[in-house]
Amino acid sequence: MIAYTLLILLVAAERVAELVLSRRHLAWARRRGGVEHGRRHYPGFIVVQFVLLAGAPLEVWLLGRPFVPALGWPMLTVAVLAQALRWWCIASLRERWNTRVVTVPGLPLVDRGPYRFLHHPNYVAVVAEGVALPLVHTAWLTASVFTVANLGMLAVRLRVENAALRQASPAGAAPGPG
């Protein structure tokens, strides 16, 4: 249980690093006329992430969830791969990556890295991690609650992001990777 709690703390520290980077990127975008879209849904994402990062270790500690190697090791692999995908997205978007939906006028859509293959690869990472991270230590209740809440938030986020990308694209083209 201690190793699992340390894993969750590492992921939480990674989230803090993301927020610091996001704040820096937001300032970069605003200096270039960047526009934030869908600001109202953003606090919901923070709450859902909190549910994941607080709920999983609490469930393990309070409900005595065991580590089951046949489930835990594959889920740890999925969680690590999700982190790798997330950072590949961040590296591919460079200064344009953000935890918020921000468009910068005049910039073309990104078509490198995982964005060559998927429109929203970071959300694939978020979904995979949200299922896998709790299941590393059989916190199935947290995995279930997070997944349902996250899918609701992603439905809103994708509508906002796709509309922002259409608006920012030349001649209102269909949204591309973003």
Going along the chain from its start, the domains and CATH numbers come out as 2-97+107-167 (1.20.120)
Q: What type of residue is 143? A: A
The span from the first CA to the last CA of the chain, in angstroms, equals: 37
User: What's this model's pTM, rounded to 2 decimal places?
Assistant: 0.90
Q: What tens digit of pLDDT does each residue of 84-139 get? A: 999 999 999 999 999 999 999 999 889 999 999 999 999 999 999 999 999 999 99
